[in-house]
Amino acid sequence: MIEFYGVSKEYHGRRVLKNLSFKVAQGEFVFLTGPSGAGKTTVLKLLYRAEGPGEGQILVNGRNVGAMPPGRVPELRRTMGIVFQDYKLLPSRNVFENVSFVLKFLGVPLAERRRRAYQVLRLVELHHRVNALPEELSGGEQQRVALARALVNEPELLVADEPTGNLDHRLAQEVMRLFSQINVRGTTVLVATHDVNLIRETGRRCLTLDRGGVLEGLVEAALPPQAAWRREGGIKLPPRDEDAR
């Protein structure tokens, strides 16, 4: 589903990713973690071609994303659900419109758009706020709207950048349960997060980016410097809180 081969990326002379290679299979649920500045967001941006790779090759469903002509990028993005770190909600549109406009691109009739938007807003417990504008919502609510928008299209690949950053623990767990449900239906899920507890509780495969600003390569079994991570049955899990203590 996702294949990175020797991908490097620089911003203004500063190398953020260096010779990065990894694979995520179809239907997998994978966490991407690492300290701030390690390049998690950059990896996601490369996936949906918000950035082009400096070097290397990125394949999504066998399609070379880096070499994709600009005219095909929207089509690629429509196969993904993307949850942005800063939500990226349309400020002048209400919750329903923010969630359903993706379906509008696809020619889904209004009644069907309403039904699906309502369903997904129920999942994130925002069905009672369909007419609210983003500015009327709390940070957590805005994040859930962004989640709903990413899920409404039942995408092949769900990409989320810190999707639980502004949620309380109960809602964060609920979101992860949602992601799992989506994943069970066959959607590949890639979540960038630094929430170690969340990764541990979910018990999913985890890819770690090195600290230091420069990616030296992905080491699945590496232990992060600030915590002892451990491998259990082939799935890397961060330690439980008591273990860390």
Residue 71 touches another protein, criterion: CB under 8 A: yes
Q: CB of residue 163 vs another protein: minimum separation in angstroms? A: 15
10 vs 75 by CB, closer to another protein:
75
- Within residues 149-168, the interface with another protein by CB under 8 A covers 149
Of 15, 23, 66, 76, which lies in the binding site for another protein, with binding defined by CB under 8 A?
76
DSSP letters for the chain: -EEEEEEEEEETTEEEEEEEEEEE-TT-EEEEE-STTSSHHHHHHHHTTSS--SEEEEEETTEESTT--GGGHHHHHHTEEEE-TT----TTS-HHHHHHHHHHHTT--HHHHHHHHHHHHHHTT-GGGTT--GGGS-HHHHHHHHHHHHHTT--SEEEEESTTTTS-HHHHHHHHHHHHHHHHTT-EEEEE---HHHHHHHT-EEEEPPSSSS-----TTPPPTTS--EEETTEEEPPPHHHH-
Among the listed ranges 55-63, 81-89, 175-183, 192-200, the one in contact with another protein (CB under 8 A) is 81-89
Q: Which stretch binds another protein (CB under 8 A): 89-97, 169-177, 217-225, 237-245?
A: 89-97
The verdict on 6 binding another protein (CB under 8 A) reads no
The piece of 83-91, 127-135, 173-181, 228-236 that touches another protein (CB under 8 A) is 83-91
> Exactly one of 4, 84, 96, 179 binds another protein (CB under 8 A); which one?
84
Site for another protein in 106-135 (CB under 8 A): 106-107, 109
* Residue 178 and residue 151 in contact, taking contact as beta carbons nearer than 8 Å: yes
The reply on whether position 50 binds another protein by CB under 8 A is yes
> Contact between 90 and another protein (CB under 8 A)?
yes
Nearest to 135 by CA among 102, 177, 92, 175: 92
Answer for which of 6, 10, 26, 74 binds another protein (CB under 8 A) is 74
Binding residue (CB under 8 A) for another protein from 13, 62, 69, 91: 91
Asked if 146 and 171 count as a contact pair (C-beta separation under 8 A), the reply is no
Residue from 78, 127, 194, 211 binding another protein (CB under 8 A): 78
Work out whether 88 is an interface residue with another protein (CB under 8 A).
yes
> Is residue 105 involved in binding another protein (CB under 8 A)?
yes
Check residue 52 for interaction with another protein (CB under 8 A).
Answer: no
Query: How many residues of this chain bind another protein (CB under 8 A)?
Result: 26
Torsion angle defined by CA atoms of residues 82, 86, 87 and 88, in that order, rounded to the nearest 10 degrees: -90
Specify the residue for token string 């002509």.
69
Interacting residue ranges for another protein, rule: CB under 8 A: 48, 50, 71, 73-80, 82, 84, 88-92, 101-102, 104-107, 109, 149
